[in-house]
Structure 1
Amino acid sequence: MKKISICLALITATGAQAQMKLDYSGQFRVRHENYDIYQGRSNKKDFTTMRARLDLDIKLPEGRRFHISPQAVKSFGEYVAEIEDDGSPDFNRTSGDKYDGPLEFYEAYAYIPLGENSLKIGRQALSYGGKIILGNRNWTPSGQAFDAAKFSTKIGAGELDLVYSKVANDDNKIVNDDATLSFLYYKLKMGESQKLDTYIISNNVSNDNVNGAGEENADSTSYGFRYQFKGDVGKFTTENIYQDFSNSENSAYNLNFEYSHNLGNFTPFASYAVATEDYDQLYANRHKYNGYIDIVGRKNLETISAGLKYKFNDKTALKAEYFDFKRVDKDTAAFNQATSKTLTGDLGELNLGQELDIVLAYKPTSMERVQLAYTMFKHGDYFEESETSKFAYLEYLLKF
């Protein structure tokens, strides 16, 4: 963050002078997406989204901080609804008209030091480890944040976070009952080469249905650990999760293994993951692990992937990754990433398909990045569709 020192001479009874410091950073991102997809989503051919976010961190005396992140998020040519006197919606343009898109807040919290401990309370991103189960979903236009309180304390050589988040409140009379997320997350760094995270996550969302609509959700408890070893050239990461559910005798698990090997400008990598048919991916960065086209999701899914990162120079890099997807349980339908619903197909076939992602990145300056990506998904025997689904995007990012 950039820094502005603001000295405020406050005349008080004791004549004390307080000092306040403002750190700031921000980003502007615009992305054009083009789709030719045959599974799991509405027929959106192409659209452009933008995000402008400013992060302000106000450092106060005695270690206290106030953080706020206003952001403007919209699709180009977006319409907004204005409610008429009779209660009917009137849709209006937000471009070339007097109507504007909304300004929202990604984060807004207070940081309070408590001796060796600390408390962060307010709206905040909760992003941990490889973001396999708790992430910020930065790929989406708005990102993901929570209304939460986080207490952090040092234990031995590591740090423990205790978090409580209100996901939904029944006092607003829209949902049937409160929905909450609470967890303990312990991060331990073992020397310069090893890290170990362990966690327990309680996701209490069984009554989080709007006016009773939709399928009943299941309260889940997740027990997981993440281990990473980083050597001179190789990096190995594994994250493994076991889940049980309040309204079911079933349990679920998710296993993940990744390895990459740095060969100078070349970095080959490979991964294997399996998520059983009842697994709940919770608040993961879904887009990161299951292919950019977002057809299959992390449920009833076995994934084998391999790829290569190549650095042409300090400004230009290429990443290519190949995925092979299969269902785990023959009696359970495939799970769609974009809609969080099942995908209809032949239950006698396990093969979901193969995907190739290619991303070219160029950094004209230290503050800017341009990405051009192209993705192809060849439908497997599970689907009736024989056409190849395609997805491409062009993105510009400015960060300061």
Structure 2
Amino acid sequence: MIKKIIIGVFVLGTLPVFSQVDSLKIGLDFRTRAELDNGQKTLIAVGKSAENTVVSRARLNMDYFYQNLQLYFSIQDARTWGENASTASKNQNFVLNEAWAKYQFTPKAALKIGRQMLSYDDERLIGGLDWAMQGRSFDAAKGIFNFNKNSKLEVAITYNNDDNDANDSAENEIYDIVDGGEKAKSLQIFHYQFQNANKFQFSSIALNSVVQNTISGTHYDMITLGVNAKKYFENFGFFGSVYYQTGKNTNAQSKSAYQFSINADFIISKKFNAVLGTEWLSGRDYDTPNTENKSFSPFYGTNHKFNGYMDYFFVGNHFNSYGLNDYYLKTTTKFNPKSSFMVNLHAFTTNGKLANDQSSYLGTETDMVFAYKFSKMFVMNVGHSFMFASNSMEILKAVNTPKNLQTWSWIQLNFAPSFRLK
């Protein structure tokens, strides 16, 4: 069935190629990752065996251009090996990843509408989540305004609903999906970015998430305001971000939370650089009233990129908790144009105060990734991570007798051929 759909889509897309299409690009994305989980996301207890998992993605992208119109279509199958029987008659993993149309009204104004990826800045607040096989996309309308070659404004709006009216209250349409720790009925995003020839970049974002109470269906505004800046010199650069959240969250708690990061990039040579930095994400104290929420929510960010690759924080966990202070050193060594080796060191503490004078120190993590580019279309990545957790981490993760050392190993193969038809 999948084969027939793919062939059908390909034929429909290529039929007009010889008569009126300016260009048609085809992209394929095949990736497979094998993981050995001996303490990823949470502490593994003594006596529990490590778990082997293989996940994969097969994605077909079609990009069609005709005069001022661009149409993009992406379908994918993302799965864990073995979750479907070899005789399965239905495939729940096959989805429409993206399907949007973009029309360029003028050289400075365009509209993009449909299922699409929303990605801004370093993807701290909202991004494509490409590490996860399924990725992340939204049903959205977006206006794009290019003021000049250095500055641009994007305005995006999403609206979420389901097709089940039976669960609706008299006052509200209920939306059932909770993502990023919140139940968002709608998003409104304003994002401005500026960059010049002097290697200076600046951006600001305002995100209003209209969240919905899980019981009453009442709507609240939860607003996030933030700025990102980056400046590079010959052998040194710095970059960072600041965000503030206010309003109310899904649970009707008053929100007052912040994120702050500052980084220094030392370019020692063409083959070696080191980034020294810290990030603070606010969190609640042990005695914070239940009507208040001081925990910063990175919402739809690609959180795997930030606070350790073992995903102990903000990857399906740690929302509305004690927050996080992350102190890190990240190094990258480029052996040659085809291979590189990255080592990241993290020291974690809670941002909020724990009860009973408990230590805020949570643990230390080391991440290592070796990358080798066999060709333009084939890249291999091999990773290994260690977590040395403290007693406070044991309490936070509710694991009484964890192993002394938590580890996570993985290998990923990426195949990404692409070609143009005209």
TM over 0.5: yes
Alignment of 1:135-174 (within 5 A): 135-155=127-147, 157-169=150-162, 172-173=165-166
CA contact (8 A) 1:190 1:196 kept: no
- Once the two structures are superposed, residues 137-157 of structure 1 have per-residue CA deviations (whole angstroms, 9 ceiling, x without a partner) of 111110000000001112354
Instruction: Check whether the contact 2:63–2:71 (CA below 8 A) recurs between aligned residues.
Output: yes
Is 1:111 aligned to 2:108, yes or no?
no
Partner Cα distance (1:47, 1:347) in 2: 39
Residue of structure 2 equivalent to 1:365: 375
Q: Write the distance in 2 (CA, Å) between the matches of 1:317 and 1:229.
A: 24
Q: 1:65 to 1:328 in 2, by over 3 A?
A: same
Corresponding residue number in structure 1 for 2:291? none
Q: Tell me the residue number matched to 1:273.
A: 279
1:75, 1:386 → 2: CA distance?
A: 26
Q: Which amino acid aligns with 1:232?
A: E
1:191 positional shift: 2.4
Letter in 2 for 1:222: T
Tell me how far 1:308 sits from its aligned partner.
1.3
Deviation at 1:177, TM superposition (A): 2.9
Q: Is the 8 A contact 2:348 2:361 kept in 1?
A: yes
> Do the aligned residues in 2 keep the contact of 1:363 with 1:370 (CA within 8 Å)?
yes
- The answer for the alignment partner of 2:345 in structure 1 is 322
**CA positional deviation for 1:266:** 1.1
TM-score (norm 2): 0.78
Between the aligned residues of both structures, percent identity stands at 21
Q: State the one-letter code of the partner of 1:372.
A: V
Q: Secondary structure at the match of 1:323?
A: strand
1:193 counterpart residue number: 199
> Paired residue for 2:7?
none
The change in CA–CA distance for 1:347 and 1:141 in structure 2 (over 3 A counts) is farther
- Tell me how far apart the structure 1 counterparts of residues 15 and 196 of structure 2 sit (CA, whole Å): 36
CA distance in 2, matches of 1:218, 1:376: 40
| CA deviation vs aligned residue, 1:40-77 (integer Å, no higher than 9, x gap) | 4898712101101121111123x111110111111111
Identify unmatched segments of 5+ residues in structure 2. 1-12, 176-184, 284-294, 395-401, 418-422
Partner AA of 2:341 in structure 1: L
Structure 1 residue 249: Cα displacement: 4.1
Q: Deviations along 1:326-385, whole A, 9 cap, x unmatched?
A: 0011148xxxxxxxxxxxxx7612011000001111111121111110011111130344
Partner of 2:336, secondary structure, is: coil
The question of 1:306 aligning with 2:339 is answered no
How far does residue 287 in structure 1 lie from its aligned partner after superposition?
A: 0.5
Name the structure 2 match of 1:232: 234
Alignment partners' CA distance in 1, 2:82 and 2:413:
18
CA–CA separation in structure 2 for the residues paired with 1:19 and 1:51: 29
Q: Deviations over 1:1-29 (max 9, x none)?
A: xx9896544xxxxxxxx444211222110
Q: Label 1:184 to 1:170 Cα distance change in 2 as closer, same or farther (>3 A).
A: farther
Matching residue of 1:48: 54
Q: Does the alignment pair 1:396 with 2:387?
A: no
Equivalent residue runs for 1:332-343 within 5 Å: none
Shift, 1:112, TM fit: 1.2
Give the equivalent residue in structure 1 for 2:209. 203
* Residue aligning to 1:78: 83
Distance 1:359 1:105, change over 3 A: same
Match of 1:241 among 237, 240, 243: 243
- Of structures 1 and 2, the one with the larger relative CO (CA 8 A, separation 6+) is 2
Aligned mates of 1:172, 1:293 — CA distance in 2:
40
1:126 counterpart SS class: coil
Shift of residue 293 of structure 1? Answer: 0.7
Q: In angstroms, what is the RMSD of aligned CA positions?
A: 2.7
CA drift at 1:38: 7.6
TM superposition shift of 1:206: 2.6
Alignment-mate amino acid for residue 186 of structure 2: T
Residues 1:241 and 1:98: Cα distance change in structure 2 (over 3 Å): same
Letter in 2 for 1:56: M
Structure 1 runs (4+) greater than 6 angstroms displaced: 41-44, 215-218
What is aligned with 2:313?
A: 296
Other-structure match for 2:65: 59
2:93, 2:253 → 1: CA distance?
41
Mapped partners of 1:41, 1:71: distance in 2: 32
Partner of 2:24: 22
Contact kept, 8 Å, 2:259 with 2:282, in 1: the verdict is yes
Q: Distance between the aligned counterparts of 1:117 and 1:4, measured in 2?
A: 28
TM-score (normalizing by structure 1): 0.82
Per-residue deviation, 1:282: 0.7
Give 1:104 deviation, angstroms.
Answer: 1.0
How far the C-alpha of 1:257 sits from its partner, in A, is 1.3
Question: Offset of 1:231 from its aligned partner?
Answer: 2.2
Q: Report the Cα distance in structure 1 between the residues aligned to 2:93 and 2:162, rounded to whole angstroms.
A: 23
Q: Indicate the residue corresponding to 1:132 in structure 2.
A: 124
Provide the C-alpha distance between the structure 2 equivalents of 1:329 and 1:193, rounded to a whole number of angstroms.
36
Aligned residue for 2:374, secondary structure, equals coil
Which amino acid in the other structure matches residue 274 of structure 1? Answer: W
1:170 CA displacement: 7.2
Match of 2:363 in 1: 353
Q: Which residue of 1 aligns with 2:182?
A: none
Q: Quick one: distance in 2 between partners of 1:26 and 1:258?
A: 35
Counterpart contact for 2:339–2:372, Cα < 8 Å: yes
Q: 1:6–1:20: 8 Å Cα contact kept in structure 2?
A: no
